[in-house]
Amino acid sequence: MGFWKFLTGSMELSLLLLLVLAPLCALTAQDRAHKPGHVSVVILGGTGDLARKYLWQGFFELYINQINSGHSFSFYGGGLSPVNKSTPILFEVIKALKCSKDVSQERCAILREQFLRISKYKQLKTLEEYKDLSKSIEKQLKQEGMKEAGRLFYLSVPAFAYAEIADRINSSCRPPNGAWLRVVLEKPFGHDFKSAQVLATQLGSSLKDEEMYRIDHYLGKQVVANILQFRMQNKKHLDPLWNKHFIERVEIVLKETLDVKGRIAFYDEYGVIRDVLQNHLTEVLTLLTMKLPRDLSDSQEVLTNKLHIFTSLLPLSRNQAVTGQYQNYQQEVREELNKTTGFVTATPTFAAVLAHIDETRYEDMPILMMSGKQLDERVGYARVLFKDNVFCLQNQNSVHCKPKQIIFYFGHGSLNYPAILVSKNLFKPDVVDSEWKEVTEHKDKDVTVLGLPISDYYVQTPILEKEAYTELISHIFAGRRNSFVSTENLLASWDFWSPLLTSITDTFPRIYPGGADNKDMLDIFLKGRDLSYVNEVVIISQDHMSGQNPNNFQVMQGKFRNDEMVSGWTEGLIEKLASDIEEAAEKAILESGVFHLALSGGASPLALFHRLVLHHFAFPWGGTHIWMVDERCVPLNDMESNFRSLHDHLLQHVKIPYYNLHPMPVQLNQRLCVEDDRGTWLYQEEIRKFVNASSFHFVLLGVGFDGHTASLFPGVKPEDHGESLVVFTESPSKPHQRMSLTFNALNRAQKVAILMLGKYKHEAVTQLSRVKGETSQWPVTWVKPDGGSLVWYMDYEALLG
């Protein structure tokens, strides 16, 4: 090092030389592993989706690239189905393989023919069949007088099969000394820390750590694979900037438009955090923040530095994550998993998580990771947004007033090709390597990337776009272990994610409609170390789940508009409400000898009345006074009357003294709701006389589509009614005239329950969840018991639609 410094007098150049020399040094190590010889490749799950789409193509390109290397190859597609069934499928796949643009059609056809000749399908089900595979490899080597270089097993099979296959490989397919064994594994690598550890231990008994290649295909994406290279190459620009003083925040984002139909059996067990954040996005995070190795080709140093970031990540708390679920997901799960309507899943299909690194350099620097299905666009990127310390007095369009950012653009989205973009007000970056080029001419000049027109960036892109799998397959062959996930890194990642995953299992994700309709529903607000949705909507958590549900109905508790919420399937929810009322009744009677219950009309409470009648025989009706929340101005025996409905569905079935009933006096002097008859005053006096401090023990309310509650319709304000407890109101629908308790009366209550049932209430629930504070457009928002509690009772149809 001293010598170089002396020679060049410049640190940068010495670094450059180091880079040039590094691959040379690495060659010696790789040489040893790559003495020309025969390589056997076995793709288990060889006719499966992944193999058909990417793996055979990747291995074909490997074969072409190695054609003059002195290596020879044989390829096996392995699987459970018999040879005569899968062979034709495999041949179809191979016949469709493509060559890169620099290979002529004729040559490609010849190469494909050669590749076909050295490929075959093999049934690999029993131990015997594995032994047989090994024997035929040995036989072939002997016949052709070749030396064995290595064996590569690609496990493109469900994870539960890994341990057994690894065991069979170890016991019957190990190559002789001097040849390498590489076993490639696809995620999922466990479900949490524990299961990942169990799997790692199982695999560890059959395979050495250096024999395992865990694929994270993100690490094969060209832009991701070049993050470290870019940081290294532009060290002189980045070193002073790459810290908490200059970086505003880091965003690592994978947005998808697809749903998960077809893979729900897998997805519902995992969800977006396990599927994307724990692996892909976390890998990107480590590449962006890890200490640069002295030598990029030193796998060990890269892995060690990566691991160091994991140990510096601050533990995630519940307040550092928000989750969502697209609206149709419940239905898709029920259909695909053949579940009844009673089934509900809380698996998130969207998540945003805020991470922090406990290092002086990155202290308090927000790192936002987010991913979701059914979002408005398909795009993946990591953006490093720098702080804006510029005050622009006049020319807001001048270049130093624009956002300063570096974007690692993985693909899709508005740009639609992989690229690294550096905004021009930062610095002009060096191109990462000879396989990359600078883009100066833009096909689409109007395209903007994360807020800046493309012309405001220095852009570089790979000369040839390569499929991630093709790239990784060549890395496996070259033994480049730092493109893969080591056991230590895997466990460290699970160690980081598992506590959060546990803490949100009982949280119901925010439901979002999907696509462009999501609008601002999933916008996120960073607040210190915490994060939340910008718009408050439905968030249910089971934090304070009562647990003592006599009928074992599934009921969840949580928050809605900052108040308590209880939700469940209709029957369970109604039972919960009935029990809560009974509990309140018993408590009130114990304390004061009476229970004052105010009930509303409408269809929703009918199910509650039936439940009370048929299941709550011990309800203390004798001490209960029944009051009306509102009444229509019709005779009490009219079918439209709330009291009539209450009588028919509840009162006639229970033993309640008639002098405990308090219908609203809407009919006086043979006329309906005339001010002069002072019906409202009479009812108010009745309340004052019977109810201590005019404070009902329990009030049951509903909410209309338009947000009305009791008979308080949009446009009303609490102060309209002064101190009155009872008023006449006008309904937009017939019969127009109503008598109603006022907000003043409702808010004196000790407990208020708002009941919302059925799909057609979902829109009102969604709207209400977005309304902040109180508004006359949504009268129910004025219901806020002064000293009492408010609980929303919503069934899943109302809540989830």
Ligand X SMILES: *[C@@H]1O[C@H](CO)[C@@H](O)[C@H](O)[C@H]1NC(C)=O
Hey, which residues are catalytic here? 280
* CA Rg value for the chain: 34
- Which residue, 652 or 692, has its beta carbon nearer to ligand X? 692
Our finding on whether 177 is near ligand X (CB under 6 A) is: no
Q: What's the DSSP call for residue 784?
A: -
How do 419-423 and 405-412 pair as beta strands? antiparallel
- Which residue, 207 or 664, has its beta carbon nearer to ligand X? 207
Sign of CA dihedral 536, 537, 542, 547: positive
User: Could you say which of 692, 736, 770, 772 contacts ligand X (CB under 6 A)?
Assistant: 692
Structure tokens at 116: 């076909």
Q: What's the DSSP call for residue 102?
A: T
Q: What's the DSSP call for residue 384?
A: E
User: Could you say which of 5, 32, 53, 85 contacts ligand X (CB under 6 A)?
Assistant: 85
Our finding on whether 82 is near ligand X (CB under 6 A) is: yes
- Which residue, 592 or 637, has its beta carbon nearer to ligand X? 592
Q: What share of the chain is helix, strand, coil (3-state, %, to 5)?
A: 40, 25, 35
Closest approach of ligand X to the CB of residue 693, in Å = 4
Cα distance between residue 138 and residue 151, in whole Å: 11
User: Could you say which of 10, 65, 104, 171 contacts ligand X (CB under 6 A)?
Assistant: 171
**Amino acid found at 114:** Q
Residue 9: exposed, middle, or buried by beta-carbon count in 10 A (0-12, 13-18, 19+)? exposed
Binding mask 364-403 for ligand X (x = CB under 6 A): ----------------------------------------
Binding mask 623-652 for ligand X (x = CB under 6 A): ------------------------------
Cα distance between residue 373 and residue 259, in whole Å: 6
Closest approach of ligand X to the CB of residue 333, in Å = 13
Our finding on whether 341 is near ligand X (CB under 6 A) is: no
For ligand X (CB under 6 A), the number of binding residues is 13
- Which three-class secondary structure state does DSSP give residue 419? strand
Our finding on whether 170 is near ligand X (CB under 6 A) is: yes
Binding mask 109-138 for ligand X (x = CB under 6 A): ------------------------------
- Which residue, 84 or 670, has its beta carbon nearer to ligand X? 84
Our finding on whether 592 is near ligand X (CB under 6 A) is: yes
Return the bridge partners of 660, or none. Answer: none
Our finding on whether 532 is near ligand X (CB under 6 A) is: no
User: Could you say which of 338, 394, 434, 440 contacts ligand X (CB under 6 A)?
Assistant: 338
Closest approach of ligand X to the CB of residue 373, in Å = 24
Residue 620: exposed, middle, or buried by beta-carbon count in 10 A (0-12, 13-18, 19+)? middle
Count of beta carbons in the 10 Å neighbourhood of residue 590: 11
Sign of CA dihedral 470, 475, 478, 484: negative
Closest approach of ligand X to the CB of residue 169, in Å = 9
Q: Considering only the stretches 206-214, 307-315, 443-451, 648-656, report the one whose residues sit in contact with ligand X under the rule CB under 6 A.
A: 206-214
Give the total residue count for the chain.
801
Site residues for ligand X, 477-516, by CB under 6 A, read: none
Q: What are phi and psi of 75, to 5 degrees?
A: -120, 135
Sign of CA dihedral 200, 203, 206, 210: negative
Q: Considering only the stretches 204-212, 472-480, 493-501, 732-740, report the one whose residues sit in contact with ligand X under the rule CB under 6 A.
A: 204-212
Closest approach of ligand X to the CB of residue 88, in Å = 8
Our finding on whether 207 is near ligand X (CB under 6 A) is: yes
Q: Considering only the stretches 78-86, 213-221, 357-365, 400-408, report the one whose residues sit in contact with ligand X under the rule CB under 6 A.
A: 78-86
Among residues 212, 218, 279, 288, which one has the least CA distance to residue 247?
288
Closest approach of ligand X to the CB of residue 206, in Å = 5
Q: Considering only the stretches 205-213, 420-428, 604-612, 704-712, report the one whose residues sit in contact with ligand X under the rule CB under 6 A.
A: 205-213
Q: What's the DSSP call for residue 104?
A: -
- Are 259 and 374 in contact, with CB atoms under 8 Å apart? yes
Closest approach of ligand X to the CB of residue 73, in Å = 25
Our finding on whether 455 is near ligand X (CB under 6 A) is: no
Q: Considering only the stretches 29-37, 203-211, 635-643, 710-718, report the one whose residues sit in contact with ligand X under the rule CB under 6 A.
A: 203-211
Q: What's the DSSP call for residue 369?
A: E
Structure tokens at 454: 């493309």
Closest approach of ligand X to the CB of residue 340, in Å = 8
Closest approach of ligand X to the CB of residue 698, in Å = 14
Sign of CA dihedral 45, 49, 50, 51: positive
Q: Considering only the stretches 77-85, 143-151, 249-257, 698-706, report the one whose residues sit in contact with ligand X under the rule CB under 6 A.
A: 77-85
User: Could you say which of 84, 143, 396, 548 contacts ligand X (CB under 6 A)?
Assistant: 84
Closest approach of ligand X to the CB of residue 703, in Å = 28
**702 vs 103, 454, 660, 722, CA distance in Å?**
72, 53, 23, 23
- Which residue, 338 or 440, has its beta carbon nearer to ligand X? 338
Our finding on whether 691 is near ligand X (CB under 6 A) is: no
Our finding on whether 693 is near ligand X (CB under 6 A) is: yes
- Which residue, 86 or 731, has its beta carbon nearer to ligand X? 86
- Are 790 and 783 in contact, with CB atoms under 8 Å apart? yes
- Give the neighbor-by-neighbor strand order of the sheet with 726-730: 630-632, 737-741, 726-730
**Phi-psi region at 269: left, alpha or beta (left = phi > 0; alpha = psi -120 to 50):** alpha
- Which three-class secondary structure state does DSSP give residue 473? helix
Q: Considering only the stretches 24-32, 82-90, 130-138, 596-604, report the one whose residues sit in contact with ligand X under the rule CB under 6 A.
A: 82-90
Among residues 598, 605, 656, 657, which one has the least CA distance to residue 627?
598
User: Could you say which of 14, 206, 323, 684 contacts ligand X (CB under 6 A)?
Assistant: 206
Q: Considering only the stretches 48-56, 154-162, 200-208, 311-319, report the one whose residues sit in contact with ligand X under the rule CB under 6 A.
A: 200-208
Closest approach of ligand X to the CB of residue 665, in Å = 25
Secondary structure element (H or E) that encloses residue 147, with its range? none
- Which residue, 104 or 171, has its beta carbon nearer to ligand X? 171
Q: Angle formed by the axes of helices 604-615 and 570-592, to 10°? A: 70
- Are 800 and 756 in contact, with CB atoms under 8 Å apart? no
User: Could you say which of 35, 208, 387, 527 contacts ligand X (CB under 6 A)?
Assistant: 208
In the chain, the largest separation of any two C-alpha atoms, in whole Å, equals 115
- Which residue, 209 or 433, has its beta carbon nearer to ligand X? 209
Our finding on whether 428 is near ligand X (CB under 6 A) is: no
Where are the strands (E) in 315-416, listed by range? Answer: 321-326, 350-355, 367-372, 379-386, 405-412
Q: Considering only the stretches 199-207, 224-232, 405-413, 487-495, report the one whose residues sit in contact with ligand X under the rule CB under 6 A.
A: 199-207
Outline where 556-628 has alpha helix (H).
570-592, 604-615
- Which residue, 171 or 502, has its beta carbon nearer to ligand X? 171
Closest approach of ligand X to the CB of residue 687, in Å = 13
- Are 565 and 557 in contact, with CB atoms under 8 Å apart? yes
- Are 535 and 771 in contact, with CB atoms under 8 Å apart? no
- Which residue, 393 or 693, has its beta carbon nearer to ligand X? 693
- Which residue, 119 or 750, has its beta carbon nearer to ligand X? 750
Closest approach of ligand X to the CB of residue 204, in Å = 7
Contacts with ligand X, residue ranges (CB under 6 A) = 82, 84-85, 170-171, 205-208, 338, 592, 692-693
